[in-house]
Amino acid sequence: MSPLRLNGSTSGYSQLDAPAIAGDQTFTLPGTGGTLDRLNRAGNILQVVNATYSTQASSVTSTFADTGLSASITPTASTSKILVMAHQSGCGKGERDTRVQLRLLRDSTVISLFEKWAAANGSTPDNFVGTCSICYLDSPATTSSVTYKTQFNSTLNLGTTYVNVDGSVSTITLLEVAA
């Protein structure tokens, strides 16, 4: 199949070559009011990754532990930004004077301590606050795979804290944004 060539109004041309794959392909041009956008234009979303996790986890120490919520993405350009939207569900404490802290990591690097006081209410037991969330625009400056995850702890080492209580579903969504 020969290429389709569109001549410019004064000079030059744009050429559309046939794909190097078998089967029929359809290419639709926008109407008179539309525009044909380039994929790598600044602000365009280049890819989306989503993951969920719903296994309950608990902690009785101030040492941060993985919640189980994580997702990986491989940026197509080192200049891309990654918009991370994490919603950690079923957050709370079971007893005593403690609270839940949550943080977001890129691989092993902490990039945000996004919750410091979840479920804090003094020594009153059983305080569950539901979902703690973060929306964070990161600049990983790589084209290698990166993993984003959440971690939690029991801040004061005095009582048990929880995430994903009773199988509540946590989500993490990663959007690669062209720079």
pLDDT digits (tens, 9 = 90+) for 110-125: 999 988 877 777 777 7
Whole-number pLDDT of residue 170: 97
Residue 13 forms part of a structural domain: no
157 compared with 83, residue with greater pLDDT:
83
Question: Do the Cβ atoms of 31 and 43 come closer than 8 Å?
Answer: no
Per the prediction, the chain carries an average pLDDT of 86
For residues 124 and 138, what is the distance between their CA atoms, to the nearest angstrom?
Answer: 37
Beta bridge partners of 161: 59, 93
Helix (H) or strand (E) holding 135: strand 127-138
d(CA 113, CA 125): 24
Domains in the chain, number: 1
Q: Which of 57, 50, 125 is nearest to 91 (CA)?
A: 57
- For 172, the domain range is 45-177
Q: Quick check: is 28 in a domain?
A: no
SS3 content of the chain, % helix, strand, coil (to 5): 0, 50, 45
Domain of residue 153, CATH code? 2.60.120.760
Q: What local confidence, expressed as pLDDT, does residue 6 receive? A: 72
* 72 found inside a domain: yes
For residue 60, give every residue at least 6 positions away whose Cβ sits within 8 Å of its Cβ, in sequence order, or none.
154, 157, 159, 160, 161
Q: Which residues pair with 132 in a beta bridge?
A: 88
Q: Is the pLDDT higher at 172 or at 101?
A: 172
Q: Strands 45-53 and 109-118: what pairing?
A: unpaired
From residue 125, give the alpha-carbon distance in Å to each of 64, 100, 101, 119.
22, 13, 17, 10
pLDDT band at 5 (very low <50, low <70, confident <90, very high): confident
Task: Supply the pLDDT for residue 135.
Answer: 97
pLDDT greater than 80 at residue 96: no
Q: Are 25 and 19 in contact (CB under 8 A)?
A: yes
85 located within any domain: yes
This model's pTM is above 0.85: no
| Residues sharing a CB contact under 8 Å with residue 28, sequence separation 6 or more, in sequence order | none
Any domain includes 34? no
What percentage of the chain has pLDDT greater than the value 70? 86
Task: Look at residue 84 and tell me if it is in a domain.
Answer: yes
Q: Report the distance separating Cα 9 and Cα 25, nearest Å.
A: 27
pLDDT category of residue 29 using cuts at 50, 70 and 90: low
Residue 31 domain-assigned (yes or no): no
Residue 20 resides in a domain: no
